[in-house]
Structure 1
Amino acid sequence: MTFMAAPTTVVVDGGYELAEGGRWIDGRYVYVDILTGGLYELRDGDGPAASRQLARLDVPLGAVAPVRDEPDVWIAAAGTGVALLTADGALEWLDRPEDRTPVPSRMNDGVADPAGRFWAGSMAYDGTRGAGSLYRTDTDGTVVRVLDGLTIANGPAFSADGTTLYLADSAEGTILRCRVDPVSGDLSEGPEIFVRLGGDEGSPDGMTVDTEGRLWVAMWGAAAIRRYHPDGRLLHTLEVPAPHPTSVCLHPTDHRLYVTTARHGVRHPTSASGAVLTVPVPVGGTAARAWGGRH
């Protein structure tokens, strides 16, 4: 394992309580502030403080993905379920499965897979163990519970061919790996433990897969980003100037890593906490996939 030393730039100053879910979509970096329900974009080439608010919901907003062929429409992991979010900020609920859970819960991070399905996790507000789930929203709008018994389901990320799903359970310190049938979306194998982390290593949060098939992981509480080989070996650790990095996203053409961070739980936050950071890295990523529904 080696440390990657690279200068970090604060692109958007701290101020977000829990920035998360950063994705590259149509030449812009899109991210959320979960607890305030805010959706934001940063256009490629914009300078600091140039982010623009796209929507503000009255429920927590965990993550979004674009809807194929519908500009400015998003599928969102929001509140207690999954909804379509239009440009005017209206929500069209597909399902609210977390309304039917025994403890108050909310949706968390989510991502679309290469086949156009949307996957999103959930968690209890009080962190009740085993209360979280992973959901898959198919292209017909059906929301299916794929896994339960999780605690804080976070950072779903897919291999380029869509056959491997990585899922973090932040509270348990584990990264799971599942084999996915790319046609049906069913789990054909797993979940298996890909990485198990000790308490002093931080908690795995948002994740992404680079163009070389390596997994990047934001390490909440450790002020670090980790890069793993598909066989589970830790390849690199990148230190960042914020204790709680929450998501990672690789620019699809420039070799830049974008990192969201949180002020939540930070006793003495700086401008790098609750911010968007960029770091030069030696590899690129891919643009976010779109949800393929509503044709």
Structure 2
Amino acid sequence: MTYTAAAAATVVVDGGYELAEGGRWIDDRYVYVDILSGRLFELRHDTGPVAVRRLARLDVPLGAVAPVEDRPGAWIAAAGTGIALLTADGTLEWLDRPEDRTPVPSRMNDGVADPAGRFWAGSMAYDGTHGAGSLYRTDLDGTVVRVLDGLTIVNGPAFAADGTAMYLADTAVGTVLRCRVDPVSGDLVGGPEIFVQLRDGEGSPDGMTVDEERCLWVAMWGAGAVRRYDPDGRLLHTVTVHAPHPTSVCLHPSDNRLFVTTARYRVNSPTPTSGAVLSLPVAVRGVAASSWRGGH
């Protein structure tokens, strides 16, 4: 049965962020970005008062990061026009800048490491040009491969715990795709299939995550809601959040809490819940975030 709940959201951080995104629970901290300002933050509040610390500020947009395995303080980042290693002192070491070679000005967007240790990230044109977005995979040797093109605004991706299924949102066209992935090679097995197609007025799919029960949570940009779908694409329930533009979702791996980032971008009368980090009680837990296992 599908149901809607207006859970009581706590404003964990009222940061006034323009476009907070990419929330991930990594070890004992919640990490997120403010894309357009190029800032990376960590949030610790398991014990004591909430403590937010800025980890980096780049001179290019920062879409998302994943930790680099066995390199404390280092991140692989979807930033600017490509993929880079971000060292503990804030230095960027570029692996590739594929969006420099596109016909329209573009930037990297959301990204995540898969359970096998590869890093996946999408791109988009600044003006939202249809079909200008791509999905990239960064392998363990640092090679950046374009996996899919012809997309528009690429969000997600999100992986099943065994790495064999990847969910990908094309926000501009209201579609969530599901791709079968060979967990050994990282190659797609067959083409993407439509997992969910949103209708006009339902909002646009943005950041996503998979929970411990293999269900997909989707932030619904423009709808002030988060949706949960079962592995067959059936809508299980909708959680209302009192911010028009939720951008990413993250489930705590050992506590029943959902963390949601939101945006002030294109909000005419923002409230403390817009451009913030919110926390809501839920009945399920998440899966620990993966690291990029390259760079050794």
TM-score with structure 2 length normalisation? 0.98
Query: After the TM superposition, which segments of 4 or more aligned residues of structure 1 sit over 3 Å from their partners?
Result: 46-49
Unpaired runs of 5+ residues, structure 1, are none
Distance in 2 (alpha carbons) for counterparts of 1:49 and 1:209: 26
Distance in 1 (alpha carbons) for counterparts of 2:34 and 2:153: 17
Distance in 2 (alpha carbons) for counterparts of 1:145 and 1:46: 42
- The corresponding residue for 1:141 is 142
Per-residue deviation, residues 22-50 of structure 1 (Å, max 9, x unmatched): 00112000000000000000014267762
Identity of aligned residues (%): 78
Distance in 2 (alpha carbons) for counterparts of 1:47 and 1:220: 32
Contact kept, 8 Å, 2:155 with 2:171, in 1: the verdict is yes
- The corresponding residue for 2:171 is 170
Give the alignment of 1:199-278 within 5 angstroms: 199-278=200-279
Distance in 1 (alpha carbons) for counterparts of 2:146 and 2:49: 39
Distance in 2 (alpha carbons) for counterparts of 1:236 and 1:98: 37
Per-residue deviation, residues 204-258 of structure 1 (Å, max 9, x unmatched): 0000000000000000000000000110100000000100000000001000000
Distance in 1 (alpha carbons) for counterparts of 2:87 and 2:146: 25
Output the aligned Cα RMSD.
1.0
* Secondary structure of the corresponding residue to residue 191 of structure 2: strand
Deviation at residue 188 of structure 1 after TM alignment: 0.5
- The corresponding residue for 2:81 is 80
Per-residue deviation, residues 170-206 of structure 1 (Å, max 9, x unmatched): 0010000000000000001220110000120000000
Distance in 2 (alpha carbons) for counterparts of 1:251 and 1:291: 20
Contact kept, 8 Å, 1:13 with 1:48, in 2: the verdict is no
Distance in 2 (alpha carbons) for counterparts of 1:241 and 1:179: 34
- The corresponding residue for 1:66 is 67
Letter in 2 for 1:120: A
Contact kept, 8 Å, 1:247 with 1:260, in 2: the verdict is yes
- The corresponding residue for 2:119 is 118
Deviation at residue 5 of structure 1 after TM alignment: 3.6
* Secondary structure of the corresponding residue to residue 88 of structure 1: coil
- The corresponding residue for 1:292 is 293
TM-score with structure 1 length normalisation? 0.98
Contact kept, 8 Å, 1:13 with 1:49, in 2: the verdict is no
Distance in 2 (alpha carbons) for counterparts of 1:72 and 1:63: 15
Letter in 2 for 1:26: D
Contact kept, 8 Å, 1:140 with 1:294, in 2: the verdict is yes
